[in-house]
Amino acid sequence: MNFASDNTAGAHPAVLQALAEASTGRAMPYGNDPWTDRVAARLAEIFETPVEIFPVATGTACNALALSALTPPWGAVYCHEQAHVEVDECGAPEMFTGGAKLVTLPGQDGRIAPETLAEALDRGGFGSVHSVQPSALSLTQSTECGTVYRPDHLRALCDLAHAKGLGVHMDGARFANAVAALGAAPADITWRAGVDVLSLGATKNGAMAAEAVVFFDRGRADRFAFRRKRAGHLFSKMRFLSAQLEAYLADGLWLANAAHANAMATRLAAGLQGLPGVTLRHPVEANTLFAALPGPAIDAMAAAGFRFYRWPDAGPDTIRLVTAFDTEAADVDAFLAKLQSILLIPAAATGT
């Protein structure tokens, strides 16, 4: 049973079915195909506003490309100190932006507080030739800590950013989980709150490899097609990216998958909270949770074949557990049962 990441799941059957159907016959390449047109229309519908969209295949590409549309090479991009763009992309944002600087901010439970951003902007060095120029704010929704930003929180952050001329990017690798968790309209946690460009993830939540850069501020999309091509992220057989997205967004699949994953995380959290010696590091609001366990119990669970990552950055003896669209309640229960059995045995008995 694998709780290492939602990217260890396969693709949803509806996505595979869409790929098979899309493969019939010839189609013009590079996005000049009906699938791509339909995805664009569908996203405009979902977000209740005209959008410019650019499908790509990986979250790192999606984020790095989006940021490159918001900052010059001498710009600063503010983000949470645990943001994926900062810690997990091997410098892709720096590569795509031509060397912009990510300026990290602390923040409880993966969220940046408006006051923290305000203070950082006060020290922003605007107009000083010696200082990188504050150009973008990047927010992750749902966050790397498994929490979500409420709409008013987002609006406060975006207002601060916009007041100083920064554009706002949202890393939505797990955007569906946030929508499902909040029960909010997608628009309410994006453009209505002030987000200019969204990295909309699908891969972790049922697609094979499909994401989309979604521009609400369409003026910023102007020359984006060149950026995507130049980075090797324009697919010739684009219909296969778009078909994945079309299936993902059809009939509420994306939200159903996310709601299921969230529910599994909630179930897991509830079970963990009842166990002795287990502490949750953050509120569990989406599909990712961080739990502190007795060290020997971590080793024992790993030895028992459960897959998860140890996460020292979140604290000592901490593991990360991620649920996905295909996580079954039985998997969760098996994890909890095994952990309970381990914790009830005196520690000495489990020692190596």
Positions in 131-170 near a copy of itself (CB under 8 A): 131-133
User: Which residues lie closer than 8 Å to 26 by C-beta, 6 or more apart?
Assistant: none
Question: In whole angstroms, what is the distance from residue 225 CA to residue 251 CA?
Answer: 29
Rounded to the nearest whole angstrom, what is the least distance from the CB of residue 108 to a copy of itself in the complex? 20
- What Å distances lie between residue 110 and 80, 139, 145, 310, CA to CA? 7, 10, 5, 18
Only segment of 160-168, 184-192, 237-245, 282-290 that touches a copy of itself (CB under 8 A)? 237-245
| CA 223 to chain CA centroid, nearest Å | 25
Site string for a copy of itself, 9-48 (x = CB under 8 A): xxx-x--x--xx-xxxxxxxxx------------------
Rounded to the nearest whole angstrom, what is the least distance from the CB of residue 242 to a copy of itself in the complex? 12
Task: Find where tokens 């009842």 sit.
Answer: 274
Task: Give the number of other CB atoms < 10 A from CB of residue 352.
Answer: 6
Rounded to the nearest whole angstrom, what is the least distance from the CB of residue 116 to a copy of itself in the complex? 16
Q: State which of positions 255-294 bind a copy of itself (CB under 8 A).
A: none
Rounded to the nearest whole angstrom, what is the least distance from the CB of residue 48 to a copy of itself in the complex? 29
Question: Which 3 state secondary structure label does DSSP give 167?
Answer: strand
**Does the protein bind a copy of itself through residue 197 (CB under 8 A)?**
no
User: How many residues line the site for a copy of itself (CB under 8 A)?
Assistant: 77
- What Å distances lie between residue 120 and 107, 114, 138, CA to CA? 12, 10, 14
Sheet of 288-292: strands edge to edge? 279-280, 288-292, 318-322, 309-310
Q: Quick one: 180 or 210, whose CB is closer to a copy of itself?
A: 210
**Does the protein bind a copy of itself through residue 117 (CB under 8 A)?**
no
**Does the protein bind a copy of itself through residue 98 (CB under 8 A)?**
yes
Sheet of 101-105: strands edge to edge? 52-56, 211-215, 197-201, 167-172, 133-140, 75-80, 101-105
Of residues 43, 67, 77, 100, which one binds a copy of itself by CB under 8 A?
100
**Does the protein bind a copy of itself through residue 51 (CB under 8 A)?**
no
Of residues 42, 48, 49, 87, which one binds a copy of itself by CB under 8 A?
87
